[in-house]
Structure 1
Amino acid sequence: MGIVSRDAIQHFQALIDEVDEPLQSTFKNMHQGYPTETLVRFLKGRDWNVAKAHKMLVDCLNWRIQNEIDNILAKPIIPTDLYRAVRDSQLIGLSGYSKEGLPVFAVGVGLSTFDKASVHYYVQSHIQINEYRDGVVLPLATKKYGRYIGTCVKVLDMTGLKLSALSQIKLLTIISTIDDLNYPEKTDTYYIANAPYIFSACWKVVKPLLQERTRRKVQVLQGGGRDELLKIMDYASLPHFCRREGSGSSRHSGNGTTDDCFSLDHAFHQQLYNHIKQKALTLESVAPVKQGSFHVDMPESDPEGSEIAKTIESELHKLEDQNGLSNSIDALKINGD
């Protein structure tokens, strides 16, 4: 770490030391005993500009306080049938760990429908997984591997991605903005698996809009990417949709729910939900747990995020128009025959 970096961290630390309660308490809860590493994440998120990183972190701390994020793991999505519906339509899970000890999160981008609950439930669920990752999964990995582990890798399955994904852009932009502003630099690498043409077309136009540090994190795999992923993780940690040779792996290409890390019956989701229920019990003596989603302030996307979302939407519309024209031509050919 260079002199400039050390100076930036020291300056940033001095500024954060001056913030009052309750910001100090929520910062302590957030950094989990690693304040310097947390400051570095926010500095990276603002290209080492101390003033911008300071504003970003203070805004994050205020967001956490205003939305009671420190207690979100005590707010279960109930009843269980509703939570199962959320899990069946917002596909994410922990499949294992890389050889370096980084948690491997699998995300079913193409087959997530986000159509079984309101936006607030999906946002609540996403933040709960973030908080469980930061408060439980990463500290356990740090203890197990004997060194600080503060990031994860994500494997994004594009199987089933269709033009109808256009309807999900608003929700995905909200979730992405929450991550960018409040959980910066938490993902080491994004691996894209089973990418269809629609992804490739969007990626070509979106890639130039991304910052260099973000572009470097994205690796598009050949097909399911099994052989490439086995270089960084053992077979047991491969997401189920990457285990088959070649491309086109489906959601259920594992051996049942024990392998399908998206399933509520998978060990990760059972542990997460049990953790949330136990947390909720500690608060029930103060106030009974109410049914209904836990509303979180929806952040406005930054200009870069808005431009990317608009670009994706525009590209999908173009593909939709081309697809419609292609279908019309096919219909004319059939009628002509």
Structure 2
Amino acid sequence: MGINSQEAIKKLKALMDHVDQPLKKSFQNLHQGFLTETLERFLKAREYDVSKAHKMLVDCLKWRVENEIDKILRKPIFPADVYRAVRDSQLVGLSGYSKEGLPVFAIGVGLSTLDKANVNDYVQSHIQINEYRDRVVLPSASKKYGRSITTCVKILDMTGLKLSALGNVKLLTILSTIDDLNYPERTTAYYIVNAPYVFSSCWKVVKPLLHERTKRKIQVLPGCGRDELLKIMDYSSLPHFCKRESSLSSSRSSGHQGSQNCYSLDQPFHQQLYNYIKQQSLMTEAVEPIRKGSFHVNLQVPVSKSKGAAKTIESELRKYGSGLSDTLIELEIM
């Protein structure tokens, strides 16, 4: 950390000392005691421009207060079968830790159908995992490894990816916007594995939706990426889809059965997350009733990005002929 960055952190901290009390309270929940690291994350996201970083951080805190994000880990997704449906169609899990102690999150991009629940349920689940990571997983890792650990590694599995997945671009844009604006610089690197031939077309659609700083962190690895990933993590921390010799029969190996599947609701990460939220809700319910309704986040998808994505989708699908006409759905983002 250079002199300029230290000075920027100092200036941003001074500005944050003057925010309103509700924002201060949410800020404490946001940084979890890692104040300097949190300030630097927002500064990195805005190229160390203090005024822009301050605006970004204040906007984030306002978003948290308006949408009661600080209480989201007390709000289970009801009923239980809806939560299971979310887990079965929004594939994510914690497979282990890197050699540096960073949590390794596996995301099944290709096999995530995102069609078993409504948008609000998927958004709620995504934010809950973010918050559980920030409030529980990262502080626990910091304690275990004896140093500040405030970032993670993500491995994106493209097994089973089809062009029809482009129909989920609105939801994916919402989730990426949430992360860009409110959880900046939480991921050190993104590794893409098991990329099929249609990946290039999907990438043309998704790439413009991502912030430039995010794109710089993305690496596409050959095959299942096992050899490259073993340079930064032990074999035991590899996701199940990176342990096979090849991507053949990948659908079977990425199914929802088996103790090695890090996506499974029965795996420790999801069991701990589920029980944590359940316990928090019970403690809260003893003090105040919990409203068991749909979760809504006030976040607008950038119109310019959405229109551009829709045009790219149409262009890419036409390359594959009229047989894919059913995929040319009328997206709500247009």
Instruction: With the length of structure 1 as denominator, give the TM-score of the two structures.
Output: 0.90
State whether residues 224 and 247 of structure 2, in contact with CA within 8 Å, keep that contact through their aligned partners in structure 1: yes
| Closer/same/farther in 2, CA of residues 326 and 295 from structure 1, 3 Å limit | closer
Offset, 1:288: 3.3
Report Cα offsets for 1:94-114 as digits up to 9, x if no partner: 111111100000011111111
Mapping of residues 92-103 of structure 1, within 5 Å: 92-103=92-103
Give the structure 2 partner of residue 21 of structure 1: 21
Query: Could you tell me how far 1:73 is from its partner in structure 2?
Result: 0.2
Distance 2:40 2:159 in 1: 35
Distance between the aligned counterparts of 1:15 and 1:155, measured in 2? 36
**Structure 1 residues 211 and 264: alpha-carbon distance in aligned structure 2, compared to 1, 3 A threshold:** closer
- What's the counterpart of residue 328 of structure 2? none
Distance 1:223 1:312 in 2: 27
Is this contact kept in 1: 2:173–2:209, CA < 8 A? no
Query: Paired residue for 2:104?
Result: 104
Counterpart in 2 of 1:258? 259
SS in 2 for 1:197: coil
Change over 3 Å in CA distance of 1:208–1:126 after alignment to 2: closer
Residues 94 and 103 of structure 2 are in contact (CA less than 8 Å); yes or no, is this contact kept in structure 1?
yes
* 1:290-309 → structure 2 map (5 Å cutoff): 290-301=291-302, 306-307=304-305, 309=306
CA distance change for structure 1 residues 208 and 115 in 2, over 3 Å: closer, same or farther? Answer: closer
Please tell me whether the aligned partners of residues 173 and 301 of structure 2 are also in contact (alpha carbons under 8 angstroms): no
Question: Counterparts in 2 of 1:188-199, with a 5 A limit?
Answer: 188-199=188-199
Task: Report how far residue 205 of structure 1 moved.
Answer: 7.5
| Structure 2 match to 1:119 | 119
TM-superposed CA distance for 1:121, in Å, is 0.5
Q: 1:167, CA displacement in angstroms?
A: 1.4
Correspondences of 1:251-290 after superposition (within 5 Å): 251-253=251-253, 256-290=257-291
TM-score normalized with structure 2 length = 0.91
Conservation of the 8 A alpha-carbon contact between 1:240 and 1:259: yes
Cα distance in 2 for partners of 1:296, 1:205 equals 24
Deviation for aligned residue 1:209: 8.3
SS in 1 for 2:104: strand
- The structural deviation recorded for 1:215 is 3.0
1:335 equivalent in structure 2? none
Q: Which residue of 1 aligns with 2:58?
A: 58
Relative distance call for 1:319 and 1:204 in structure 2 (3 A) is closer
Aligned residue in 2 for 1:317: 314
- TM-fit CA distance, 1:6: 1.6
What do residues 67-87 of structure 1 show as CA deviations (whole Å, max 9, x unaligned)? 111110000012211100010
Q: Deviations over 1:141-198 (max 9, x none)?
A: 0000000000000000111111111210001100110010000000000000111222
Query: Does the C-alpha gap of structure 1 residues 142 and 55 become closer, same or farther in structure 2, counting only changes over 3 Å?
Result: same
Aligned equivalents of 2:12 and 2:2: distance in 1?
Answer: 15
* C-alpha distance after superposition, 1:230-270 (max 9, x if no partner): 11111111111111112346255279432111111111100
Tell me how far apart the structure 1 counterparts of residues 46 and 324 of structure 2 sit (CA, whole Å): 46
Match in the other structure for 1:133: 133
**Cα distance in 1 for residues equivalent to 2:211 and 2:275:** 39
SS at match of 2:250: coil
Please say if residues 44 and 185 of structure 2, whose CA atoms lie closer than 8 Å, have aligned partners that are also in contact: yes
Aligned match of 1:85: 85
Larger Rg: 1
Identity %: 67
Q: What displacement does 1:25 show?
A: 0.9
SS of 1:105's equivalent in the other structure is strand
1:204 Cα deviation from its structure 2 partner: 5.8
- Comparing 219-228 with 246-255, greater Cα deviation is found at 246-255
Between the aligned partners of 2:188 and 2:134, the Cα distance in structure 1 is 14
Matches within 5 A, 1:218-233: 218-233=218-233
Counting only pairs closer than 5 Å after superposition, residues 60-75 of structure 1 correspond to structure 2 as 60-75=60-75
Q: 1:248 to 1:186 in 2, by over 3 A?
A: farther
C-alpha separation between the residues in 2 aligned to 1:133 and 1:243? 24
2:331 maps to none
Two-structure CA RMSD over aligned residues (Å): 2.2
Name which of structure 1's ranges 203-212 and 161-170 shifts more when overlaid on structure 2: 203-212
Distance 1:161 1:266 in 2: 24
Correspondence list, 1:141-156, <5 A? 141-156=141-156
> What's 1:3 paired with?
3
CA distance in 2, matches of 1:191, 1:311: 25
How many Å separate the matches in 1 of 2:194 and 2:282? 41
Distance in 1 separating the partners of 2:242 and 2:83 = 26
Aligned length: 324
Post-superposition offset of 1:208: 8.0
